[in-house]
């Protein structure tokens, strides 16, 4: 019980330091606590926010390499959750922002281009990717690709955060 309390306090302190800007936020794969593993049926979460999107060229997609997987590792039971829709506060007109999740072989293996702009008629808030399981036979990178509308750049997004839950298996 003591270890759990220390871990929770450590995670809370780390979260406060990130929020205060004392530690930089970075997209990446984070292991889940036991309770979260049970709730989301996952072992890891990827959190990506507007802070991770730095592409300044209008209409150009940005690929965020989240982590490297090696041979005999597998990804199972993918779940996408849009915590806060991605949008430009200065441009309330509908402008597409899509997200795809995959790897270097198939950038949309786990999730094809999905609208995440809250100005869109129907942004996707929750999506499950059961049946997209993959066992890797060689090293690869898990990637998330953000694509803006043709006249917009990702670095100008004001708000947005997405979480991707997955079960990562290691059979090495």
**DSSP-derived secondary structure letter, 102:** E
Q: What are phi and psi of 39, to 5 degrees?
A: -65, -40
Q: How many CA atoms lie within 13 A of 115 on its CB side?
A: 12
Pure H helices in the chain: 2-19, 34-40
Q: How do the pLDDT tens digits run along the chain, 172 residues long? A: 444 444 444 343 333 333 333 333 457 789 999 999 998 889 999 999 999 999 999 999 999 999 999 999 999 888 999 999 998 887 766 678 999 999 999 999 999 999 999 888 788 998 887 668 999 999 999 999 999 988 888 998 999 999 999 999 988 8
For the chain, how many structural domains are there in total? 1
Q: In CATH, what number is assigned to the domain containing residue 111?
A: 2.60.120
**What is the per-residue pLDDT for 130?**
67
Reported as half-sphere exposure (CB side, CA atoms, 13 A), residue 152 has a value of 23
User: Is residue 76, in this structure, part of any structural domain at all?
Assistant: yes
Q: What pLDDT does 19 receive?
A: 35
The reply to whether 11 falls in a domain is no
Structure tokens at 104: 């270097």
Residue 9 located in a structural domain: no
Range of the domain at 139: 26-170
Residue 40: predicted pLDDT:
87
Residue 32, φ and ψ in degrees, nearest 5: -95, 150
What is the pairing mode between strands 140-148 and 111-115?
Answer: unpaired
Considering the domain boundaries, does residue 16 fall inside one?
A: no
């Amino acid at each position: 019980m003591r270890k759990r309390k220390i871990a929770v306090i450590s995670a809370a302190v780390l979260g406060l330091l990130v929020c205060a800007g004392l530690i930089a936020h970075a997209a990446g794969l984070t292991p889940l606590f036991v309770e979260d593993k049970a709730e989301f049926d996952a072992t890891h979460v990827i959190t990506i926010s507007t802070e991770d999107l730095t592409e300044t060229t209008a209409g150009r997609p940005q690929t965020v390499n989240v982590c490297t997987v090696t041979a005999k590792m597998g990804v199972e039971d993918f779940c996408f959750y849009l915590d806060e829709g991605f949008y430009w506060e200065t441009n309330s007109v509908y402008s597409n922002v899509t997200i795809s999740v995959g790897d270097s072989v198939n950038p949309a293996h786990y999730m094809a281009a999905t609208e995440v702009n809250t100005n869109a008629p129907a942004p996707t808030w929750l999506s499950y990717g059961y049946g997209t399981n993959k066992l890797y036979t060689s090293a690869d990178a898990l990637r998330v690709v953000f694509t803006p509308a043709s006249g917009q750049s990702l670095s100008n997004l004001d708000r947005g955060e997405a979480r991707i839950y997955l079960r990562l298996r290691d059979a090495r």
